[in-house]
Amino acid sequence: MKFSKSTVMALAFSAMLTAACTTAPVLTPSEVIPASYGLTNSEIKDEIIAAAVDRDWTVINSNDHEVEISYSKPGKIDVTSVVEYTANSFEIKLKHSSGPDAYKDGKIHRNYNRWVNNLKNDIDSRLNHRQAVKHAQKKK
């Protein structure tokens, strides 16, 4: 199959434009924490902080209902997010961003969504593990 020079150039240009798209709509991941877990706010906060540190987020501040964290990709983006939590759920919200791919018109650097989804999954995994350990200790 032969392609004309203009077809090849159009495909190449289209590929370059797609690669240049560095923003995506901002996600605000959340998760329900089953009441059966019986975790305290302190235990939940500890697991949020541990998951954030494991993913190279920096903990800026924390209290009984939220953990403020930041993440940086030099030359690309710096973000600050807040993980709000209760005994029943947690949610990761974008608080601030700066840099060439910072939040604008509802969009942000495309990797931000991956970063916060990975963090959400890690928090969920750590909470599941914490609950399993707590449950096993009660059986002793």
The pTM for the full model equals 0.82
* Residue 124 is assigned to a structural domain of this protein: yes
Q: What is the pLDDT of residue 77?
A: 93
Cα–Cα distance, 17 to 6 (Å, whole number): 16
Under 8 Å between Cβ of 78 and 120? no
Q: State the DSSP code for 63.
A: -
Q: Is residue 52 part of a domain?
A: yes
Query: Average pLDDT of 106-125?
Result: 96
| Total structural domains within the chain | 1
Q: With respect to residue 73, please indicate whether it lies within any of the assigned structural domains.
A: yes
Q: By C-alpha distance, which of 53, 11, 136 is closest to 67?
A: 53
pLDDT 10s digits, 2-29 = 666 665 455 555 544 444 457 899 999 9
Structural domain for 127, as ranges: 24-139
CATH number for position 74 = 3.30.310.80
Q: Write the pLDDT tens digit of every residue in 27-45.
A: 999 999 999 999 999 999 9
